[in-house]
Structure 1
Amino acid sequence: MIPITVDLIFDIGRTNKKVFVLGQQSEILDQQYKNFEETVDEDGFPSEDLQAVSAWVLEMVDHYVFLPKYNVKGVNFSTYGASMVHLDEDGKIVGTFYNYLKEFPAETAARLKKHYPNLDDFSIATQSPYMGFLNSGLQLLFLKYERPESFARIDCSLHLPQYFTFLLTGQKYSEFTSIGCHTGLWDLERKSCAKWLKDENLLKLLPVPSPTDQVIETVYKGVKLNVGLGIHDSSSTLIPYLQQTEEPFVLLSTGTWSISMNPFNQSMLDEQTLAQDCMNFMTINGQSVLASRLLLGKHYAEQVKLLNAHFGVNEDLHKTLPYQVKKSKRKEANQCLFNHHLIAIERFGLQSATKVDLSIFQDFEEAYWHLMDELTDAQVKVLELALGGQTSGKIFVDGGFVHNQYFMQMLKEKLPTHQFLVTEQGNGACIGAAIMLNDTAVLHHKLQNKVIC
């Protein structure tokens, strides 16, 4: 039997870890999923078990590379952003892999003010709101002053996609989509690393950014592989859509974070727009992409757990619930019946309920309708920020929420002049990472035929 030539693409999300075996026509020949229990950092805050995830990645590479039916040609990684891995001279992990939701110490934030007395100036320079650990570059400032013993051992700091590339190749890289996703590391207007890094003598810890489509030829356990540099997952999701159309569009990439991206708006953001949780990402060639975000998936999961517990229903009921029209119990359009402080809906003029009373709902279905009505109100506000005043046009939707009938139907009803489109295959982050390894002509044609209204 002649082995089938394939690529391995890892999609490492905060919640789900996946590996896809892609044939040369981008078809999925095999896939595996894995979830990991979190560990805790030195302060007891929940943290990704990076050692366990790393071991699984290497296990999957070994499994497929040495599986006789496949000839693995390339490997690439699409992972969540805002996370850094710090290595010593021997390539061993230094210290903790920090959760980007961890609270940033006020003392360290005060040190940043030495360089930017007004944090709005930091936001404007880096085109990202100040967000503490979510500005992954600020980890370096935190380690320097709050964990000096660990900091002294750091030889190089990599973003998560490039860490997995390092696992296979032993080589250390940086690339634009990872360094340019609200890290606080890059000055978009000057097109260079942010000034505060030089002032703090931190530049030496960061590799110079390389093109995202660069491929490393390596030998892994005696097998020749082409390994990609890795890519930030939201930016990876955007790539197939940019290749399939020249018409302006916005991409709504859903998951733990719901990210709305407009690659056709490359304007510098002002204080007011940044305060609305907008930012500029970077494409593989360093161009800016207007993005707005919502912690939708995490908040949704927590709210559904509350509903499941209250109504005593199967935890998977929400996945198969067909859309039904209900009459709203909200007395005022901007007053919500659920508590949405986690996603900060107040910035959109919506008001969270301070006390949630689920007894007002007749059953799970009615409560779920109201939950989705409120969540899609917030999602529409975030989309409108990315649309930048566009009153019509294409909105591509990717990720887990494309399968949620309530989510899709309510978006269409609330933005009726826009055309919503999804892809049959989905997995845009996986395809984007694959494109970075391959001749894109075949993938381009394949994706064009998968777009459906």
Structure 2
Amino acid sequence: MNVIAIFDIGKTNKKVFLFDENYRIVWEKSTNLAETTDEDGFPCEDINMLKNWILDQLTELKKLSEYKLRAINFSTYGASFVYVDEEGKVLTPLNNYLKPYPEVLKENFYAKYKGEKKFAVKTASPVLGSLNSGMQIYRLKEEKPEVFEKVKYCLHLPQYLSSLSTHQYFTDITSIGCHTSLWNYKKMRYHKWVSNEGIITKLPPIHNIEVTIKIENEISVGIGLHDSSSAIIPYTINFSEPFVLLSTGTWNISMNPFNDTALTPEELQKDCLCYLQYKQKPVKSARLFGGNEHEVQTKKIAKHFGLPEDFYKEVVYDKVIISSLRVSALKNYFSCQDQNKILRESTFERRNLNDFKNYDIAYHQLMLDLVAQQILSTQLVIHNSPVKKVFVDGGFSKNSIFMNLLAQAFPEMEVYAASMAQASALGAALAIHDRWNPKPIQNDLIDLKFYKH
């Protein structure tokens, strides 16, 4: 059986899948790798352990007699640079994008380049410190010039993992385009600071992600993609009518591939940003820390009512409870002028759990508060675009309260819960379809469930 292997590397879970020619998962394996610490004692990915795990899996996959490995690709979290020397040897720990960024360095940088607001608009990157991965390179150059001197290439994580098999080095547009502060979205090229600071020579050439490198005469290896950009590929392939994808997890990210209007300073303040699709088209997006908020507040409810932490999985949508809560809840949101405040913190944080007769009512209130935030976040990317459909994937797509409330909030839209096997892994496989798979791509890769408003 012809298969493609996809390494889907999250910060917590590391997975490898084999897809057959119909994009069904026929084999999978996952692991959690222990973190290490960097030179400052901050927790980070153990890049050597990850490298060894991937090489071990590749050795094992090639030995599986029932499968013929035709292709390999990678989908990984973004905002992570690996620095290699002439020999491809890693020079530093893989710095964590949550690592605090030095204030003085940040101030000096933005002072050089017309200030935070103008710079953020040009690069479609909210000012996020280490999450702007280009700023990680700048920090290395300023704080450790002797290490920077030895760097042959700065590689985003997917391209480094690909190079383990190909021994070739490339840059991928989806990784550059994910809030890195490297890309000038107005001119669709690197921002001038990348040349000014002597960094451009250390970024390998941009490579078309649909083009693979042949190894061992028969295996096509892709150069890898940023996971959020990869997750949208199955949708753009299956649906031509304009849509928004609301990808839910720790972060809820609303992505609109049909909105290429320039970001405003106000939108950037509300956590809007742009991703670049693999065909170099901007995807206007907005982030909300929704899954994290849900986790924090459900733990509080569980503790207050003496319940297991996953009690919410048994709570089903109750329109009578919603009706009784709604009268005050949503009206208050939309009469509130400070939308920034609503986006930053859920009203539930300030609620007194003693006000709720039972956990059912408390949980419905939490979901009303969360969806009120989600409406504002998603509207930022729908505004002024022809979108008529909203697809929700990830954890919240299975939450009947969230889905019903969202459908009611967008009565002019068709709202669907979408499910498929591993969206970012599937996207990475589809990106190089023509290089390994003789069959046409099927149009039933995504299961949809419609929610009436």
1:257 matched residue in structure 2:
251
Partner of 2:57: 60
Give the superposition deviation at 1:372. Answer: 2.1
| Corresponding residue number in structure 1 for 2:380 | 385
Report Cα offsets for 1:48-81 as digits up to 9, x if no partner.
3333333332232222221111111111111111
**Deviation by residue 1:293-338 (Cα, 9 ceiling, x = unmatched):** 12223333333333344444333333343333434399664879xx
Comparing 188-197 with 143-152, which one deviates more in the overlay? 143-152
Correspondence list, 1:312-327, <5 A? 312-325=306-319, 326=321, 327=324
**Deviation readout 1:281-303 (Å, 9 max, x if unpaired):** 11112121111112223333333
Whole-Å separation in 2 of the counterparts to 1:224 and 1:392: 42
Alignment of 1:164-313 (within 5 A): 164-219=161-216, 224-313=218-307
Secondary structure at the aligned position of 1:446 is classed as: coil
Alpha carbons 1:398, 1:427 under 8 Å: kept: no
Matches within 5 A, 1:275-424: 275-325=269-319, 326=321, 327-328=324-325, 333=330, 346=341, 348=343, 352=347, 357-389=352-384, 393-424=388-419
Alpha-carbon displacement from aligned partner over 1:367-389 (angstroms, at most 9, x marks no partner): 33222222221111111011014
Q: CA deviation at 1:92?
A: 2.4
2:336 matched to which residue of 1? none
List gaps (5 residues or longer) in structure 2: 334-338
Q: Separation in 1 of the partners of 2:446 and 2:15?
A: 24
Answer yes or no: is the 8 Å Cα contact 1:250–1:387 preserved in 2.
yes
Structure 1 Cα separation of the partners of residues 14 and 247 of structure 2: 17
C-alpha contact (below 8 Å) 2:126/2:179 kept by paired residues: yes
| Alignment match, 1:131 | 128
**Deviations, residues 390-415 of structure 1 (Å, cap 9, x unaligned):** 58611112223222222222211222
1:23 deviation in Å?
0.5
Task: Tell me the matched-pair count.
Answer: 440
Moved more, 233-242 or 95-104: 95-104
Task: Work out whether 1:141 is the aligned partner of 2:145.
Answer: no
* 1:446–1:349 distance in 2 versus 1, CA, 3 Å: closer
Matched-pair identity in %: 36
Shift of 1:183: 0.7
Report the TM-score when normalising by structure 1. 0.88
CA distance in 1, matches of 2:357, 2:28: 40
Rate the CA distance shift 1:364–1:92 in 2: closer, same or farther, 3 A.
farther
Could you tell me which amino acid in structure 2 is paired with residue 277 of structure 1? D
Matched residue, 1:112 = 109
CA separation of 1:46/1:285 partners in 2, compared to 1, >3 Å: closer, same or farther?
A: same
Taking a change above 3 Å as real, the CA distance of residues 214 and 299 of structure 1, as seen in their structure-2 partners, is farther
Contact 2:245/2:393 (<8 A) preserved? yes
Q: Tell me how far apart the structure 2 counterparts of residues 305 and 89 of structure 1 sit (CA, whole Å).
A: 49
Structure 1 residues not aligned, in runs of 5+: 337-343
Q: Report 1:44-83 matches (<5 A).
A: 44-83=41-80
Change (3 A) 1:442 1:320: farther
Taking structure 2 as the reference length, the TM-score comes to: 0.88
Which position in structure 2 is the counterpart of 1:435? 430
| Displacement of 1:182 | 1.0
Deviates more, 1:366-375 or 1:250-259: 366-375
Aligned to 1:340: none
Of the structure 1 ranges 21-30 and 145-154, higher mean CA displacement relative to structure 2 is found in 145-154
